[in-house]
Chain A
């Protein structure tokens, strides 16, 4: 069945360092969404990618969708303490309505 894996599971960085999380799907995706969940909170939508090879930027965040639409990445430049949380990707196949969430990457930023 469909699986979405994320690496790394945990990442500790010094404030100001960069951070990247990678998302890999076992099947081709129609679209992929990224969410951020703060400790004790609920997932909050960040971005959606639809096109093969798509790159989108939000201030210090850069999102990429692979050419084969089976992988994606989120890169944060110059992390800040406000970036702390768990980042999830969620992919949807061409057929069906369900989103498969990745295992998440928990980011800790050390001031």
Chain B
């Protein structure tokens, strides 16, 4: 595709439900980042993949958050037992190589937990 795509664009979940957010990076991009952006704030780092390897997951806020990229392309961010504080926009970004390259962001998934 021409850019990074994310689905769904909007997700409403009841507290306690599990959600899965998908990211399709630009074809051939090695690096993939997940960020959480609260309203009026800057993106906060969640996790980083280089191909299929999750090299950094230090930003995941709790063990309810899990991310994978099994074949080094599409990535899924899963949140178990969602809570209201999980409400935010989840952004995915990919870059051609490592962290010295520009990041291309997807449109984000807006998650609302009721």
Contact = CB atoms under 8 A, between A and B. Distances in A.
Interface of A: 4, 31, 33, 35, 41-45, 48, 50, 88, 90, 92, 96-104
Contact of B41 (A31, A41, A103): A103
Contacts of A43: 43, 91, 93, 103, 105
Give the 4 A-B residue pairs with the shortest CB-CB distance, closest first: A101-B42, A45-B102, A98-B45, A42-B105
A97 B106 contact: no
23 contacts: A4-B42, A31-B100, A41-B107, A42-B91, A42-B107, A43-B43, A43-B93, A43-B105, A44-B105, A45-B102, A48-B102, A50-B100, A90-B43, A96-B58, A97-B50, A98-B45, A98-B48, A98-B58, A99-B45, A101-B42, A101-B43, A103-B42, A104-B42
A97 B99 contact: yes
Q: How large is the interface on B (under 10, 10 to 19, 20 to 34, 35 or more residues)?
A: 20 to 34
Describe A's contact surface by its main secondary structure: strand
A98 B56 CA distance: 8
Contacts of B65: none
Given A92-B99, A97-B55, A97-B99, A102 B42 contact: yes
